[in-house]
Amino acid sequence: MTRIFLWVSAVVSLLLLTLIYNSVSTGASSSNVATRPSSAMATMPVAGESMAGMAGMASAGAPVARLDLTIVTGDMIGHTEFPAFVPSDFALPAHSTVIITVTNFDDATALPKGAEQYAKVTGTLNGAATVTPIKAGDPNGSAGVTKSITSLKPADVSHTFTIPALGINVPIAAHARVVFVVKTGAPGHYYWRCFDPCGADPMGWGTAMAAKRNFMEGTLTVE
Ligand SMILES: [Cu+2]
């Protein structure tokens, strides 16, 4: 009888200890989860609805840099049919995670037949980008819900941000802020361009698309 009592009390003690241990470790892990976003945010100067998620995804290890690009319309710069990425030549640190934001003030130019592959996001973290609609009069605000996308309809593409040598292609939606994360590797010089024929005739490959630099193409230096 005594032996059975001792055995039962030993089992009960073990159960109690397990319960206590579990509740302590659950508490510890949930407090880790709670502190992780704030410590990540402290090391990265990011803000805004789409950035919070991207920053969380980008927080694993590598240093984080930012690149902010704006696509202005030809009319905005007094140069009709010459939409432009601003800036067009830029540098990024090697072996880093980079949060790239493209703020686009331009309309859509449907991707032509045969170029539909440029409607798909490639080479970014998770093969995704976020798109937030904006109004020209409130460029830092949100005119709609932020969506995560892996592609756009070819008809909805306005420009593309494409670095062929790195396998990076992001279709840029019209009147939107587009955010995505890429990782840089070793130092080098790369060429980026837009593959949506967004210039004037013939077939959209004139004006901005025909200009060799400063509008729809430029250089990335990884250093
Ligand atoms: Cu373009």
Mean pLDDT of 174-178: 98
Number of neighbouring beta carbons within 10 Å of residue 221: 13
13 and 61 fall within a common domain: no
Is residue 175 domain-shared with residue 194, that is, in the same domain? yes
What does the pLDDT look like over 113-159, one tens digit per residue? 999 999 999 999 999 999 999 999 999 999 999 999 999 999 999 99
Distance from the CA of 143 to the center of ligand 1, in angstroms?
22
The H or E element containing residue 99 is strand 97-104
Distance 87 CA to ligand 1 centre (A): 14
Angle at 91 between CA 159 and CA 103, to 5 degrees: 35
Domain count, the chain: 2
Whether the per-residue pLDDT at 81 is higher than 70: the answer is yes
For residue 13, give its domain range. 1-43
Report the separation in Å between the CA atom of 66 and the middle of ligand 1, taken as the mean of its atom positions.
Answer: 22
Q: Are residues 88 and 182 in the same domain?
A: yes
- For residue 183, report the distance from its CA to the centre of ligand 1, in Å: 23
114 plus 181 within the same structural domain: yes
Question: What's the CA-to-centroid distance between 171 and ligand 1, angstroms?
Answer: 10
Give this prediction's pTM: 0.75
Instruction: Say whether both 21 and 96 belong to one domain.
Output: no
pLDDT attached to residue 201: 85
- Mean pLDDT in the chain? 81
Q: Is 35 in the same domain as 76? A: no
Domain with residue 111: its CATH number is 2.60.40.420
Q: Rounded to the nearest 10 degrees, what angle do helices 49-58 and 2-43 cross at?
A: 120
